[in-house]
Amino acid sequence: MKIIKLLSLLFAFIFFTSCDNDDDNPDVINEEETITTIRVTLTDPESNVITLQSQDLDGDGPNAPEITVSGNLAGNTTYSGTVEFLNETESPAENITEEVNEEADEHQVIYSTSGSIQSLTTTDVDGNGDDLGLSFNMITNTAGDATITLTLRHEPTKPNDGTLSGAGGETDATATFSVLITE
């Protein structure tokens, strides 16, 4: 009986000391790797700039990305384009494009277009000479509707044929922009 009493006291001690409950609140986590914003900048030969943006500030929260296009594109024009990936939950916003650039061989931006766009060709390469896609040239057709879809893929098969199915890997960010091309 003595042993049991002794042990019960010991257990009680362990049990109740372990219940010490400090009221510290947990630290908030702001996900640093989150991409909240895709920003495409299109510049025509006269240095007019059109911005296409997809912004999703609540990440995997319920709100869908907000898509904005700053203006219409001109027909039969060659635009030089760049794309930026940002994390705007941080202040100042974190530029994820730099990380993509640092690990260029593990990333690729893949484009597809429809409607009044004649061609879109990427103009940059990673350290191995394979396509990267952070900058591109795009030639518009005559007036009409068009869409531009871009997808940032992580760990794609490189080199590839420039299509999503050819690239494989996982999607880190994607957006489809509808644009209007005027004369």
Partner 1 sequence: MRYLLFVITFCLSAIYVYSQNCTAILLGEVVDFHDNTPLKNAVIVVTGKNLKTSSDEFGKFTFKNLCEVVIELEISHPECTSQFVTISIEGNTYQKISLEHHLEELDEVKVVGKTVKQTNSAQEVSLNIETIEKYSSATLGDALNEIAGVSTLSTGANIVKPAIHGLNGSRVLMLNNGVRMQDMEWGDEHAPNVDLNSAGSVSVIKGAAALQYGGDAIGGVIVLDQAPFVRIDSLYGKTILNGISNGRGGSASTELVRTYENGFYVKGQASFKRLGDREAPDYVLSNTGVQEIGASLALGKNLFEWGWHFNYSYYQAELAILRSSHVGNNDDLINAINSQEPLVINPFTHEIENPRQEVSHHLAKLEVYKRFEGLGKLKVQYDFQSNNRFEFDIRRGVADNQAALDLNLTTHTLASDFKWDANQDFELQTGLMLRYQNNFADPATGIRRLIPDYDKYDFGGFITSEYSLSDAVVLDAGLRYDFSQVDAKKFYQSSRWEERGYDQEFQDLVIEEVGNQILVNPDFTYHNFSGALGLQYTDYKSSVFRANYALAQRAPNPAELFSDGLHQSASRIELGDLRLTSETSHKISLSAEGNYKNWGYTFEPYLNMISDFMFLEPTGVEFTIRGAFPVWEYRQTKAQLLGLDVNVYTKPHQNWNSNHSFSIVKGKDVTQDAPLINIPSANIKNSVTFNKLKWKDLELKLISDYVFEQNEVLDNFTVFSPEQQEEVLLEINSAPASYHLLGFFAKTSFNLGKKTKLRSSITVNNLLNTQYRNYLNRQRYFADDLGRNIMLQLKLNY
- Cβ of residue 85: shortest distance to partner 1, in angstroms? 9
**What is the Cα–Cα distance from 32 to 39, expressed in whole angstroms?**
18
Identified binder of partner 1 from the candidate list 44, 69, 149, 159, rule CB under 8 A: 149
Binding region for partner 1 (CB under 8 A) out of 40-48, 69-77, 129-137, 173-181 = 173-181
| DSSP-derived pairing of the beta strands 66-69 and 49-55 | antiparallel
165 touches partner 1 (CB under 8 A): yes
User: By the 8 A CB rule, do 118 and 86 touch?
Assistant: no
Supply φ then ψ for residue 18, to 5 degrees.
-70, -15
Burial of 163 (0-12, 13-18, 19+ CB in 10 A): exposed
| Site residues for partner 1 per CB under 8 A | 1, 3-5, 7-8, 11-12, 14-16, 18-19, 21, 25-33, 35-38, 54-65, 89, 96, 99-100, 102-103, 106, 114, 147, 149, 151, 153-155, 164-165, 168-176
